[in-house]
Structure 1
């Protein structure tokens, strides 16, 4: 019997919830790191074997830092109806509360929200206990993407709900105080997979690429690569009435799940970047995620290279090019530059056909160089979350926080890295009380942002 790859190795689920205090710190924690790193991922309960990696129940891990100390670690399942077996599809249609809540966790307007793109968010306390489903006081009537974008200037939270049936795409904006102030259906959208999107200072960008809804897919996640659809990129103005003015541009086949950032350059062009796979890369990656025994690489991410789209509204054209040849995913930036031009970009490297270990990558987009922190054989780092330094004067003046899974030691650590130089030894290493299951996305939540 083929063992599901997402239940083995770095992805082996933990079987219980735990809380530990006064964690061991090696090195010196910057005292300005006052808050908590929260990280989400799929962790089915003992005895449960989901048909797809993405269908495992969400478990949130948190590490609390204050005054140079690591005060606590805790992990909790997000207690949604789906954790106890409630179905997503009912005779009345989808139940948005029956969520895995296992993709991402963010903070907005003092609320900590665990996210899965097919459902409502689930609110958690700062101690990671589940409060319940959150529908923005009844204003949210669609699912919510797991990748909302908070504008660093306005404080607005931009997000969308997608559906395999009409309306296929609804765009939402919540004000800095958490109230939804705009919801618009996007005309002309399709059932293509939209896991992530991007914003710029004046625009919202959606990509409908080569993977689309397919009810014949048997893995339980009804999406499949199609050579019959025409990939495209949609640019719409931000603000009320913007959805009706969306403009679509033809692009090359491929599939991107995550975008590092987007911005408007000095010529008025819109630049978007993110890791993208080709048809073969999607097939190999999907077969790992679905655990269906088909041809697959030994890693969940295959043939995924950083890609750039440059949209010229004046000519109606898009120029595309790969930015690098490294197999990467989970791009991050200093989010103070979200929607604006950035110089530095980070990602996690995965081994490919050339071999190698996992690592943390730092790109300098201005001079085209990269640094790779090789974390060693048998070690997998999590998405590297950027935290600005107090009084920062440079874009990369700050820290990267990443949780490692070490199969040799059957243990995990939180590494605090210098975001400006990955060749330096870690600034601090926090030893966690258990090996943490490899996850998906996470956030740094400063103390002042948690109610």
Structure 2
């Protein structure tokens, strides 16, 4: 095992909730080999499980969303847990202290913390945050998780990039957007082709800068969520405030007319960080699944699974709560992104300031409404779980992979569950050399994919 630590670590006797417990950063970049395993790793799994999250190098940040990005990765090959690595994303902010805005307040899109997601498209692995350009990281042998640098699609990208792009499983296109704060346009829609070339960039007219974290993709449509968390420059920390008077609406754009009209439909005020999936239902209906918060007014209302059904003929949206179990970080088999998917899953865990809650994964049958829950046991909390397919059938068998933190031992494991029978318990538990702080999003990146 090799270890490196940066200088300048500060200590606090009373850290903020987003810097306490397993939200606290780790200060060592580790490389460990031949990890111990309880159970049997499916031999079909050869690739990387990567997950991104905030890990401030000086152990201080004004908000959980602001810490420097760190990617934690476990390499699996033929039934073995070959290695674990964690590396900071070496953005210019991390290495040189370059700020997102210059002294005149102008955005520097090559600066940022790249702390929210890690995805692969057109042969590039990208660490993402919604306030700046993505940063490419290198997963090749001998270069594992090193930072390559900012990626602006050959100079064509002139806005920030969402941390939740969508890859169309049919065309291979990458759909995404950027939202800005200073001046209109506050929203721009982008599309890159399967080869990674940026081919569409078009402004979308919205009345104000809202915190637009995610969106929806179907085979024929893109759907934006313009929700009432509005820029508030006077607010300390995260500069957005809950403002139900702003209203809430969904914007529908046809994929075959990317510069055409965006049609807006009103919904009840709410907030959504993350979509589960979306699909077309005939010619005039679009079905969306979301983890929905009743508000973001500071009262701690937990999110749960809802379905929105857009009727384009009537211009209305039917809103339906599907479950009352709290859950976030919704995922499906990504090979069905934008297509009808029968199964989806969410994680139940801890948020800054909420204290320990029963950690679980919930798997939903979106056709029948049935829900199956896997509880990890006292003091064990999972993060987001990515789907790893067992074969080439979209929606077929596979595994759910997630980091799980154990408060009693202050350690973390990588846990693999059979997606078709999560109640049976872990197929394999890979024991890691240090805890993995709670973070955001990641993916299973098999060697066989492009």
Same fold? TM cut 0.5: yes
- Per the TM alignment, residue 391 of structure 1 is displaced from its structure 2 partner at its CA by 4.8
Q: 2:268 aligns with which of 228, 252, 255?
A: 252
1:366 aligns with 2:367: yes
Q: 1:54 aligns with which of 38, 54, 65?
A: 65
Q: Matched residues in 1 for 2:324 and 2:283: separation? A: 27
Partner secondary structure for residue 325 of structure 2: coil
Q: Matched residues in 1 for 2:373 and 2:123: separation? A: 35
- Per the TM alignment, residue 449 of structure 1 is displaced from its structure 2 partner at its CA by 3.7
- Per the TM alignment, residue 222 of structure 1 is displaced from its structure 2 partner at its CA by 1.3
In the TM superposition, 1:52-451 aligns within 5 A as: 52-83=63-94, 84-90=96-102, 91=104, 93-126=106-139, 127-164=144-181, 165-188=183-206, 190-219=208-237, 221-239=238-256, 241-266=257-282, 268-279=284-295, 282-285=297-300, 302-350=301-349, 357-392=358-393, 395-449=395-449
Equivalent pairs counted in the alignment come to: 429
- Per the TM alignment, residue 335 of structure 1 is displaced from its structure 2 partner at its CA by 1.1
Q: Matched residues in 2 for 1:49 and 1:274: separation? A: 32
Q: Matched residues in 2 for 1:52 and 1:237: separation? A: 36
Q: Matched residues in 2 for 1:355 and 1:49: separation? A: 22
- Cα deviation, 1:260-308, whole Å, max 9, x if unaligned, reads 01111136311111111123x54145xxxxxxxxxxxxxxxx4211122
What root-mean-square deviation, in Å, do the aligned CA atoms of Structure 1 and Structure 2 show? Answer: 1.9
TM-score normalized with structure 1 length: 0.91
Q: Is the 8 A contact 2:356 2:379 kept in 1?
A: no
- Per the TM alignment, residue 209 of structure 1 is displaced from its structure 2 partner at its CA by 1.1
Q: Are the structure 2 counterparts of residues 176 and 60 from structure 1 closer, same or farther at C-alpha, using a change threshold of 3 Å?
A: same
- Per the TM alignment, residue 411 of structure 1 is displaced from its structure 2 partner at its CA by 1.1
- Per the TM alignment, residue 92 of structure 1 is displaced from its structure 2 partner at its CA by 6.0
Q: Is the 8 A contact 1:186 1:244 kept in 2?
A: no
1:19 aligns with 2:19: no
Aligned position for 1:6: 18
Q: Is the 8 A contact 1:111 1:123 kept in 2?
A: yes
Q: Is the 8 A contact 1:192 1:210 kept in 2?
A: yes
4+ residue runs over 4 A deviation: 351-356
Q: Which runs of 5+ in 2 are unaligned?
A: 1-12
Partner secondary structure for residue 82 of structure 1: helix
TM-score normalized with structure 2 length: 0.92
Q: Which runs of 5+ in 1 are unaligned?
A: 286-301
Partner secondary structure for residue 257 of structure 1: strand
- Per the TM alignment, residue 212 of structure 1 is displaced from its structure 2 partner at its CA by 1.1
- Cα deviation, 1:98-135, whole Å, max 9, x if unaligned, reads 11100000011111100000000001110111111111
Aligned position for 2:7: none
Range moving further from structure 2, 311-320 or 163-172: 163-172
- Per the TM alignment, residue 217 of structure 1 is displaced from its structure 2 partner at its CA by 1.2
Q: Matched residues in 1 for 2:305 and 2:401: separation? A: 21
Q: Is the 8 A contact 1:101 1:115 kept in 2?
A: yes
Q: Matched residues in 2 for 1:322 and 1:68: separation? A: 40
Q: Are the structure 2 counterparts of residues 5 and 188 from structure 1 closer, same or farther at C-alpha, using a change threshold of 3 Å?
A: closer
Partner secondary structure for residue 38 of structure 2: strand
